[in-house]
Amino acid sequence: MTFTLDEISILCVYSAMAVYAIAFIAYAIDLARRGAAAAKAADASADAAPVADAARVGVGAAAGARAAAGAAGASAMSDATDGGAGRRGRWQRATELGATVEYGRSPALRVAVAMTVVAWLLHLAGAILRGIAAERVPWANMYEFALTGTLLVTTVYLVVIVTSKQDLRFLGTFISGLVLVLLGVATVNFYVSVVPLPPALQSAWLIIHVFVASAAVGVFALGFALSVVQLMQARREAIVASAESVKRSFLATLPSSNALENLAYRLNIVGFILWTFTLIAGAVWAEKAWGRYWGWDTKEVWTFIIWVVYAGYIHARATRGWRGSRSAWLAIIGFSTVLFNFTVVNLFFKGLHAYSGL
Amino acid sequence: MVSTSSSDPLRPSDHIDAPDPDRTPGAGGRGGVNQPRLGFVGWLRFVWRQLTSMRTALLLLLLLAIAAVPGSLVPQRSSDPNGVTQYFQENPDLAPVLDSFQMFDVYSSAWFSAVYLLLFISLIGCIIPRTKHHFEALRARPPRTPARLSRLASYTERDLPAGADAATAEAALVDAASRLKRAGYRVERYELHGEASVSAERGYLRETGNLVFHTALLGVLVTVGIGGGFGFAGQRVIVEGQSFVNTLAAFDSFNPGRFFDDAELTPYRLSLNELDAVYETRNADAIGQPTDFTAHVTVEGEGNEPTDGIVKVNEPLRVFGTDVYLLGNGYAPTVTVRNAAGDVVFTDSVPFLPEDANLTSIGVIKVTDGLDEQLGMIGFLYPTQGVLDTGAYTSTYPDLVFPVLTLNVYEGDLGIDDGTPTSVYTLDPTDMEQLTGGDTGVDSLELMPGETAELPGGRGTVTFEDASPGGDAAAAGDFSTSVKRFASFDVHHDPTQGWVLVFAILILAGLMTSLFVPRRRIWVKAVTRPDGRMVLEYAGLARGEDPNLDEAVRAFADAQSTDVPAPSGRADESSKSAT
């Protein structure tokens, strides 16, 4: 029996989903181990000396304060001056970023990352084969948006863990989970067989506009994950600072909320720039295809709303009293509008962007 | 947090990098307990400061996002007028209430306008003083070197070799200054308490980008708001073989901008020679899906030779300052009606509006003169006729494989003689008597191209003309050209959309500059320690987001220290290694 290219593509996607599932489990095991490590460290310090514990609490409290960036920077600096460049590895230790418990990379985490790479390769193969089968870019209907969009989410994650100075592998649980769920919905609910492009989509802007939009979603997804962890971390830091209890949570092995916020911000501004480009490219295309560059079509409205929410996020971060958890909430609202735009607006709202293929 | 100097961007008082009003009394917007009573001018200043604060801008941005939502939930008159009409029919109680809140014109409503106008006033209030300040900062000297560099977050130091004297230190500072200059820093030498130092600042472009971004946003708003008034948009349906002249009267509908003068229309002639529609025939999952629409047209201006052109979806035709878009197409069957004596009383190609993906199309034929009473016909065209289980007809493919036209005939007053404007696409049969179809007991007239049917009661005949070049599609077995097609064109003129694009590009460029160019200061100071050692102190200060500052300071110190120990004679080499 022979398979068509599209059938092989689907097989690749199913395989990718299976491997993503394995990666997700491994990431989850790693989180559990982090929790255990944090509890162990807390117990050890409690046994050893209450004073040390107090010092630890003090560090946690300082990390929560506004001065944390300076403190973290200073500790990194003293490291460097003490031991020279040699000790400063490619990977900044999490403790330098405000984590209270030292935690390396567990075997589970190594397996998880390896599985993510394998899943990504299968996913990539699935998308490329779909493109070859359709004789065009694989992002012209809802199924293909989801296929390529999730591929870009994983791609951004992998690029970030390779290039970032901080170890962000702990985000893998969220990323593999999100990609798995979206791929599941895409293959079950959005799948359409390969059909030719309608005249309205026959444009070079399909390649540019939609791809950049998907890439922006990939970056926003990671920023969103960081903002969520930031909020959890800020809550934990507040509890530690009030010295009510030492939370034995995996969060103790992660960077401080302040470091997480800076990371989230850097990703979100990249996403914001990509989104700005998406908006402008979309307007240029709309002028060619529909005869006007802006017409408050439902999809245009939501693209605008997303842009404004993230603009608000960037402003909030520069506004006294809004940096920290408040701006993190805006980033979370921003990504929720992105998901809303991708799902509800595509499927249920009437408009000119009727390309879901469903 | 840190002291600010005149070269810092001027920011709203509640900006995170602005001086803290709580710590610098008198500078902030927060009124203290002992604040004197505000006069009228004082109040104005207070309101203005509130309006231009970061918090207000943030609030207005979030309000803008929320205010934009209803326009996607309820159909808008601007983008979906038919949807609005339908909404009124389906929700007769709710719709007028929503309408009173301008919910069907959200983006031109008073409340939406209020939000974005306030936002832009706030923006103007922010960027004008900031721009003025930035121009001054561009000419200012980098700030004085702080007394204790080691207090700064990004700090490192390198020993000068043992036995180094003031001349070695001076050479190192000169070297540092030239390196910093090459790296794009503005450099200034200072000497404080006998300690020589270099003060350098870079990244003025960051603030420039920020100001360009915000000014360009304003540019887009103004261009769209005012510039849009100079253009027009008109719609016109043209049947194959027919043409239209770009004049006001020739448009089916015409929306001029506020400042548009009809006299500006260039009267060129646009003829539709042929409309090619290609439908998928091979892919079993997409049979009948359109893959290409191409309108072949001829354009003829006054005193110009006619030129041929094509209009496609995504490929507008730009002629005589207007843009012509192909936004729709369909069939326009040619129907001839003769009276009992055989005289032609009506003959025309009538555009039928497509109802579904397989182009089942509905049209109305109105015969006003030449018969005893006026005649109206509601026609259904099935490009490829199929029969449903219920016996009703349907179209199974959008191209002309087996075209069938059915006509329900009504007789009576068409209601057009009293001058009331009526749509050519609808027929109001309330005052008319139905002759065929429906409950009349008489079958609808059913015709294929080239066929003629008798009107009931010997009133005359109706012919569905065969438009094929050969004139006999049935005999040739090929109906593909037997019915004429029409194209629905939009003709637009917007003299300012190029400017909108320019501003959009500036928005993007300004945004990237303002987010990625680091604004930083670097100081290098030669210091003699109490034990007689000489060291070079390096310190950096971020002005805004600058994740790589530590790295940059350290890299700079490392790069310099590899060369510094040598006597001044090796300056050549140091410049080589820096490049």
CB atoms within 10 A of CB A114: 14
Spatial contact of B449 and B465, defined as CB atoms under 8 Å apart? yes
Type of residue found at B473: A
Query: What is the Cα–Cα distance from B548 to B451, expressed in whole angstroms?
Result: 81
pLDDT score, position B449: 92
Work out how many domains chain B is built from and give that number: 4
Share of chain A above pLDDT 90, in %: 52
* pLDDT on residue A78: 39
Q: Which residue has the tokens 């006054």?
A: B302
Per-residue confidence (pLDDT) for residue A71, from 0 to 100: 38
**What pLDDT was estimated at residue B495?**
87
Cross-chain Cβ contact B17/A316 below 8 Å: no
CA angle B148, B153, B157 (to 5 degrees): 60
Indicate the Cα dihedral angle B124, B127, B130, B136, nearest 10°: -100
**What residues of B are in contact with residue A273 (Cβ under 8 Å)?**
508, 511-512, 515
Residues A237-259 have a mean pLDDT of 78
Q: What is the pLDDT of residue B570?
A: 38
pLDDT of residue B237: 94
pLDDT at residue number A251: 86
Judgement on whether residues B248 and B366 belong to the same structural domain of the protein: no
pLDDT of residue B464 exceeding 80, the answer is yes
Residue B68 · residue A304 · CB < 8 Å: yes
Residue B174 included in any domain = yes
Distances (CA, A) of B92 to A350, B43, B77: 20, 47, 17
pLDDT over 70 at B100, yes or no: yes
Write the CB contacts of B201 (distance below 8 Å, at least 6 apart in sequence).
Answer: B7, B142, B143, B185, B186, B519, B520, B521, B522
User: Hey, is the C-beta of A323 within 8 angstroms of any chain B C-beta?
Assistant: yes
Query: Token pair 């043992």 is at which residue?
Result: B162
**Mean pLDDT lowest for which of A170-174, A344-348, B207-211, B495-499?**
A344-348
Same domain, B128 and B158: no
Give me the pLDDT at residue B69, please.
Answer: 93
Decide if B397 is inside a domain.
Answer: yes
Q: What backbone torsions phi and psi does residue A275 show, to the nearest 5 degrees? A: -70, -40
Residue B319 lies in a domain: yes
Mean pLDDT of B368-373: 84
> Residue A55's CB: how many other CB atoms inside 10 A?
12
pLDDT in tens, B67-90: 999 999 999 988 888 889 999 999
B106 within a domain of the structure (yes/no): yes
Q: What pLDDT does residue A43 have?
A: 75
Which of B420, B449, B464 corresponds to the end of one domain?
B464
Same domain, B249 and B304: yes
Any residues with CB less than 8 A from the CB of B83 and at least 6 apart, and which?
A350, B75, B76
What's the pLDDT at A118? 97
Identify the band that residue A248 occupies on the pLDDT scale cut at 50, 70 and 90. Answer: low
B353 shares its domain with B455: yes
Look over chain A and give the mean of its residue pLDDT values, rounded to a whole number.
83
* Strand residues in B160-289 grouped as ranges (E): 186-192, 195-202, 232-239, 243-245, 253-256, 269-279
Q: How much is the ipTM here?
A: 0.85
Closest-approach residue (CA) in chain A for B322? A291
Residues B154 and B181 in one domain: yes
Whether B292 is covered by a domain: the verdict is yes
- B324 and B437 housed in the same domain: no
Across A47-56, A330-339, B72-81, B187-196, least confident range: A47-56
Residue B562's pLDDT is 72
- Which helix (H) or strand (E) covers residue B300, if one does? strand B290-300
pLDDT at position A182, please? 93
**C-beta atoms of B78 and A276 within 8 A:** no
What percent of chain B is modeled with pLDDT above 70?
92
Across chain B, mean pLDDT equals 85
Residue A98 near residue A255, CB atoms below 8 Å: yes
B550 touches chain A (CB under 8 A): yes
Which tokens go with B449?
A: 């191209």
Query: Is the CB of A196 less than 8 angstroms away from the CB of B283?
Result: yes
Residue B201 near residue B142 (C-beta atoms within 8 A): yes
pLDDT at A53 over 60: no
Q: Which residues pair with B454 in a beta bridge?
A: B461
Kindly state whether A208 is in contact with chain B, defined as any CB-CB distance less than 8 angstroms.
no
Q: Are B50 and B31 in contact (CB under 8 A)?
A: no
Residue with tokens 């006026």: B374
**Which of residues B371 and A230 earns the better pLDDT score?**
A230
Q: What is the pLDDT of residue A61?
A: 42
Q: Which of A20-24, B71-75, B408-412, B469-473 has the lowest mean pLDDT?
A: B469-473
How distant is the Cα of A193 from the closest Cα of chain B, in angstroms?
7
Beta carbons of B508 and A277 less than 8 Å apart: yes
- Chain B residues close to A305, C-beta within 8 Å: 65, 68-69
Across the interface, whether the CB atoms of A315 and B61 are under 8 A apart is answered yes
Note whether B165 and B266 are same-domain residues: no
For residue B554, give its domain range: 149-203+518-578
pLDDT of residue A196 exceeding 80? yes
Token output for A123: 């996913």
Q: Which residue has the higher pLDDT, A58 or B443?
A: B443
Task: Please report, rounded to a whole number, the percentage of residues in chain A having pLDDT higher than 70.
Answer: 82
The pLDDT assigned to A46 comes to: 64
The pLDDT value given to residue A82: 38
**Which chain A residues contact residue B290 at CB under 8 A?**
198-199
Shared domain check, B124 and B84: yes
First to last CA, chain B: 36
pLDDT in the model for residue B382: 95
Residues B423 and B345 in one domain: yes
Residue A221's pLDDT is: 94
Report helix, strand and coil shares of chain B as percent, to nearest 5.
35, 30, 40
* B555–A contact, CB cutoff 8 A: no
Q: Are residues B245 and B316 in the same domain?
A: yes
Q: Does residue A98 carry a pLDDT above 80? A: no
- CA distances B437 to B406, B410, B442, Å, are 9, 10, 6
What is the side-by-side order of every strand in the sheet holding B243-245?
B243-245, B269-279, B290-300, B307-312
CA–CA distance, A270 with A268 (Å, rounded to integer): 5
pLDDT of residue B36: 62
Model pTM score? 0.86
Residue B163 has pLDDT above 80, yes or no: no
Residue B513 domain-assigned (yes or no): no
Please name the residues in contact with A209: beta carbons below 8 A apart, sequence gap of 6 or more.
A278, A281, A282, A285
CA distance B396 to B230: 45
Q: What is the CA radius of gyration of chain B?
A: 38
**CATH number, domain with residue B549:** 3.30.310
According to the model, what pLDDT value does residue B213 have? Answer: 96
Same domain, B249 and B183: no
Sign of the alpha-carbon torsion through B144, B147, B152, B156: positive
Q: A20 or B556: which carries more pLDDT confidence?
A: A20
Which carries the bigger pLDDT value, residue B51 or residue A51?
B51
Instruction: Please check whether residue B62 lies inside any domain of the structure.
Output: yes
Residues B352 and B450 in one domain: yes
Using the beta-carbon criterion (under 8 Å), do A297 and B79 form an inter-chain contact? yes
pLDDT of residue B34: 57
- What pLDDT score was predicted for residue B29? 41
Q: What is residue B436's predicted lDDT score, i.e. its pLDDT?
A: 83
Give the Cα separation of B420 and B102 in Å (integer): 29
pLDDT of residue A218: 92
Q: What is the mean pLDDT of residues A69-80?
A: 39
Position A243 scores a pLDDT of: 65
Selection from B438, B440, B437 nearest residue B453 by Cα: B437
pLDDT band at A238 (very low <50, low <70, confident <90, very high): confident
Query: Does residue B211 fall inside a structural domain?
Result: no
Task: Return the minimum-mean-pLDDT range out of A65-79, B12-26, B163-177, B503-517.
Answer: A65-79
User: What are the phi and psi torsion angles at B58 (to 5°)?
Assistant: -65, -45
**Do the chains contact at B153 and A69, CB–CB below 8 Å?**
yes
Give the number of other Cβ atoms within 10 Å of residue A227's Cβ.
28
